[in-house]
Structure 1
């Protein structure tokens, strides 16, 4: 699993993904987003989805990634617990593994979508950080 954290925001929740690579940081942001909804350690990787999108702006790519994951989860009735993203220039290929909601999966707060609020993708001495506020 990638590293993730949260930051305070008035009514919603700020998510932070961190990683040695940009793709790991985006995966961390996805983990932070879905961990708001349930305990990811209890999610089995039986179901799988993949998708592609094009975005040259890294910050907009983060929002597109998270919102596409949320849409795929809703469309397929899944909760995701593991994520992988690959990038070639402005083309992105995303994958997520999860399962249908089970009775014994505790439901946290539903995340409606990623927003442009406090959106930032940056590179530091220890790697990348990807952050934004998600609407709950």
Structure 2
């Protein structure tokens, strides 16, 4: 990792971007795997815009996979899909993970070009630098590189 930009961090939890050539790495940390997934989703949204996003509309998604790492990629790809097909941005997320099934709610609003100064558009979550782990203190971390 060449450089690290840490934003949205409190008490060791939150999200951060990490450098990866032309793409952007995103990492979320939390007290549970669900919280780490939520924080990574916020970090991914901040790739698109730093502008405030209203939580006016709720969209629910479900993912199921054979392991936590692939579930994490599916989760981020589901958010990217919903952003693209609904022309929306999401800034708040609620996740429940039971075994290898995820139920998530995305809260956001339609894109407003005048308010949501766009940085770049995520194309998809990749398997590059993909890790979902729990450290010795019980903190979960979920990360991967986002193709932009």
Structures share fold, TM-score greater than 0.5: yes
Report the TM-score, using the length of structure 2 for normalisation.
Answer: 0.87
Match of 1:15 among 26, 30, 42: 26
> How far 1:39 sits from its partner (Å)?
1.6
Larger mean CA deviation between 61-70 and 84-93 belongs to 84-93
Aligned position for 1:68: 78
Please state whether the residue corresponding to 2:142 is helix, strand or coil: strand
Please state whether the residue corresponding to 2:43 is helix, strand or coil: helix
CA deviations on 1:9-52 (whole Å, 9 max, x unpaired) are: 11101101000110000011101111010125x10011110011
> How far 1:56 sits from its partner (Å)?
3.2
CA deviations on 1:89-120 (whole Å, 9 max, x unpaired) are: 12210110000111221111111110000100
1:129 paired to 2:141: yes
1:31 paired to 2:50: no
Aligned position for 2:101: 91
Question: Using CA pairs below 8 Å that are at least 6 residues apart, which structure has the higher relative contact order?
Answer: 1
Unaligned runs of 5+ in 2: 1-7
The number of residue pairs the alignment matches comes to: 135
**Where has structure 1 moved over 6 Å in runs of 4 or more?**
none
Larger mean CA deviation between 50-59 and 62-71 belongs to 50-59
- Equivalent positions of 1:46-85 (< 5 A) are 46-85=56-95
RMSD: 1.3
Residue pair 2:33, 2:97 contacting (<8 A) in 1 also = no
1:6 paired to 2:43: no
